Amino acid sequence: MHDNRLTRSKTPRPGVGIVHLGLGAFYRAFGAIYVAEAMQAAGGDWGVIGVSLQSPGTRDALAPQDWAYTSVTLRPEGDLAQVIEVLDHVLVAPEDPAAVLRAMVDPAVRIVSLTVTEKGYCHAPATGALNRDHPDIIHDLAHDLPRSAPGYIVRALQLRRLAGHAPFTVLTCDNLPENGKLVRGVVLDLARLIDPALADWIAEKGRFPATMVDRITPATTQDDIARVARLTGRHDAAPVLHEDFRQWAIEDDFVGGARPDFAAAGAALVPDVTAYEHMKLRMLNGTHSALAYLGYLAGHETIAQTVADPDFAAFLRALWADEIAPVVDAPAGVSLPDYAEALFERYANPAIRHRTWQIAMDGSQKLPQRILGTLAANLDAGRAAPGLCLVVAGWMHYVAGKDEKGAAIDVKDPLAAQLRAICDAADSPADRVRGLLAVRAVFPATLAARIEGPVIAAAEDLARHGAKQAVAACAQSVVA
C-alpha cells in the first residue's frame, strides 16, 4: 500500500542488551535515542527488545518497518527528522508472556527498563507500597506467567536465579519520586510473597538506580504521521515527535557496572538524583498537571495555548515563585528562577501540541507525587498554598466528568468510576471535596484534614466564576 514506507538501513544491528517494558512514544523519543547515541559513540551490544504490555498497536505499526522509526524534533524554526534503529524486536506481552520472560532471562540482557506510567507499578500512590489488591497482582501471585510489570520483573529474576545468571539492572524511566527506591520496594514486596529467599537474593544482588527524565513528547496523531511523510518523503506508521530539550540524570548503580555509555550521549551519571527529580517533579510535572486540569476546564486544548493566556501565565509564574520553588532544593549549580523561565519557554513552544487532556490522564496516580507533596511541604513550613489548593480543586472538578459548559469529559483514570460515583453523589462543591478527600489511595488522612477548608473555598470559587477567573484572582492575590 505504501511503496515509500520507511525501511531499516543495511548496517549490522547490535546484539540485544536491554528489554524495555512499556514501549510508548516517550521511551522511543527519549531513552531509545540515548541508547542509540551511546552505542554510536562508544559501541557495545545494547540493542533493545521492546515489550508492549497491553495492545499490539505499536508492534503492528513497527513490524513492517523492521522496527525502525522516525524521531522528529519540533522546533520553532522548523522540524528536524532522524531515523532510530535501536529496536531489535517488539513483543506483545498478553499474546505470549512466556516469550517476554525468555527475553528477560537471556544472560545477554543486562538491563530491563520501564516506562509504564505511574499506574503500571501497581502500588498505592499515597504510600508507595505494593497494592496487593490490584487485580494484576492477585493474578501474578497465582500464576507463573504474569500480567504486571512488577510481575514480569519478579518472575524473570526468579528464572535467572534458578539458571545461575546474575540479575539484570531495573532502570525505571517514569516520573515518580525516588523512582528507583519505589520500584525496588514494589519488586521486593511481590518477590517476598512468592519466595522470601528470592526477595533476599534480589535485595542483595539486584540494582534499581533512580533516574530523572525530561523531554516533552506529545501523543502521535494521524496528522503527525502525515506531517512526517511530508517532511521525509517516507511513510512511517509510528513516528515520535518531541521537543528539542532533553535531560536525563541517572544514579550510576548498575549490576556489575554494565550499561551503555550514557554520558557519551549527554546523560548525567550522578551518585544521587534526588535533587534533580524533586526539582523536575515539582516545577515541571506539578505545573504541567496544574495547567492540564485548569487549562482544560477553561477551554484550552494545549499547554502552549494555556500559557499564551495572560491569566494562566501569571498564575504559572506565581505558582513557581511562591509555592513551588520555596520547597525545592536546587541541584548544585542550578538557578530555580532560570529553570522556571526555561520551562515557560518550553511550554510556550507553538510547535509542541501537548494536549491538556493527555496530561490530565491518571490524575489519581499523579497528584500525590506532583502536587500533594509540594502542598504538604508548604503547610509544614507554615505557608498557605492557595494556588496548589486551586489545582486540587481543579482536578476534583475535572474528574466529576463535566466541563464548564456542561460537556462530558472523557476521564481516563484507574479510579475513574469510584471518583465519578463520589462526585455524582455530592450535592455541592463542598460535598464533592469532602468525598474525594476521603479517597485514601490519593489523600493521606492527615493531609486531607489540613487542606479541606482551602480546597473547599477554591472549589466554590471555581464553580462560581470558572477556571480562567479563578486563576486570575489567585495570581492577583499572590502579587498583592
Residue 67 identity (one-letter amino acid): W
Give dist(CA 413, CA 13) in Å, integer: 39
Residue 148: per-residue pLDDT: 98
CA 348/CA 332 separation, integer angstroms: 27
Phi and psi at residue 34, to the nearest 5°: -60, -45
Residue 312 and residue 291: Cα distance in Å, rounded?
8
Would you state the CATH architecture of domain 274-479?
Orthogonal Bundle (1.10)
Half-sphere exposure of 315 (CA within 13 A, CB side): 27
pLDDT reported for residue 262: 98
Beta-bridge partner residues of 89: 49
pLDDT, position 478: 62
R_g of the chain computed on alpha carbons: 22
Please give the sequence-ordered ranges of beta strands (E in DSSP) within 372-412, or none if there are none: none
Residue 121's nearest CA partner among 140, 104, 101 is 140
pLDDT at residue 363, rounded to an integer: 96
In whole angstroms, give the CA distance from residue 371 to residue 392: 8
Question: Rounded to an integer, what distance in angstroms lies between the CA atom of residue 108 and that of residue 103?
Answer: 9
φ/ψ of residue 49, rounded to 5: -95, 120
Per-residue buried b or exposed e for 30-66, using 16+ beta carbons within 10 Å of the residue's own CB: bbbbbbbbbbeeeebebbbbbbbbeeeebbebbeebe
What pairing do the DSSP bridges indicate for beta strands 80-84 and 69-74?
A: antiparallel
Given a cut of 70, the residues of the chain with pLDDT beneath it are 1-3, 478-480
Read off the pTM. 0.86
Domain extents for the chain? 16-270, 274-479
Of 314, 298, 292, residue with least CA distance to 478:
314
Its sign, for the CA torsion 439, 443, 449, 455, is: negative
Which among 39, 33, 41 is positioned nearest to 72, based on CA atoms?
33
SS3 annotation, 407-424: CECCCCCCCHHHHHHHHH
CB burial of residue 304 (10 Å; 0-12, 13-18, 19+): middle
CB 256 within 8 A of CB 166: yes
Closest CA to 184 of 160, 212, 205: 205
pLDDT, position 353:
86
Helices (H), 115-171: 135-142, 149-163
CATH classification code of 16-270: 3.40.50.720
Closest CA to 21 of 166, 132, 146: 146
Length reported for the chain: 480
Sign of the dihedral defined by the CA atoms of residues 118, 120, 126, 127, in that order: negative
Q: Contact, 232 vs 208, CB < 8 A?
A: no
